[in-house]
Amino acid sequence: MPVSDRRDLELDEGGLLDIHWTWGIDFPGQRRWTDGWGVSIELPAVIELLDLIASGQADAAAVRARLADEAEALDAENDPHHGDPSAQEYARCFGDCDTCTAAEPGFRRTLAESKARADKARDHVNYPYIVQGRTAHNAGCYHVDPERFDGGDLRESELRTRLKWYAHNQGVSVYSGEPMNRDGLVRWAQANTGPKGGRNYRACKSCNPQIP
C-alpha cells in the first residue's frame, strides 16, 4: 500500500517546505530504472521547482540530485528489500525479464491447454461429464462452470502480469476440469477403483451425476 510523507526539499538556494511525497506507486515500466521510480511528488511543488530553475534561483542538476536523494531515502525507509538487487529486479519486472522470457513458451502452452479444456466443457452434448480432482460432475455444474474461468483471451498487460507470477512463483490460474464422454468417465472410474472394489472417487453432491 502506498505510503504518504511530508518533508522539505532543501537546496543551496533555499528549497521548498512541506512537500507531499508518496512512496510505493506502481509506475509504467518504461522508466523502471530511472532514479525515483516508485516515488511521486505533488505537482504544485514540481511547478515551483521549475519556476526556480527558470528564474535562475536554482540549478537544474542540483534539483535533480536532491529529488533522487529524497526518493532513495523514502525507499530505504519503507521498502524492506531496499538494496536487494534480486528483489529490485522482481519489483521492476513487467512480465518481460529474462526469467519471464524463458518461461513464456511453457506459460502460453499451459494457457492454451486450459482454454481447450474450457471450450470442451461448454460442449455438453459430446462431453456430458466433467472431472475435477477425484470428483465427477455433470456438465453445467456450477462448481466446474467454464464461464467462471477468466484465463481465455487476455489483454497483453494482463497476460504479462500472469506470466510474471507463473515465472517467478510457479503459479497460474487455469481451468482444471477434465471434460469426458460416458466411455471416458467409465475408464476414469475404473482407474480409481481399488482391487477390492474401493472407490477412490466421488460424485458431486450438488449435481449428483450418475457414474456408470
- 104-151: pLDDT as tens digits: 999 999 988 998 999 999 999 999 999 999 999 999 999 999 887 765
Edge to edge, the sheet with strand 178-180 lists 178-180, 129-132, 135-138, 202-203
Q: Residue 25: what pLDDT? A: 87
Q: What is the pLDDT of residues 24-36, one digit of tens each?
A: 988 888 999 999 9
Q: Compute the distance between CA of residue 39 and CA of residue 70 in angstroms, rounded to an integer.
A: 9
Q: What would the pLDDT profile of 58-80 be if each residue is shown by its tens digit?
A: 999 999 999 999 999 999 999 99
As given in the structure block, the three cell numbers for residue 142 are: 456450477
Q: Which helix (H) or strand (E) holds 162?
A: helix 156-169
| 179: nearest Cα among 102, 123, 103, 133 | 123
Average pLDDT rounded to a whole number, residues 177-185: 95
C-alpha cell at 208: 449428483
| Selected residue with higher pLDDT from 105 and 196 | 105
Asked if 185 and 139 touch (Cβ cutoff 8 Å), the reply is no
E strands present in the chain? 3-9, 16-23, 39-41, 129-132, 135-138, 178-180, 202-203
Do residues 129 and 137 lie in contact, with contact meaning Cβ atoms separated by under 8 Å? yes
| pTM exceeds 0.75, yes or no | no
Distance of CA 59 to the CA centre of its chain: 41
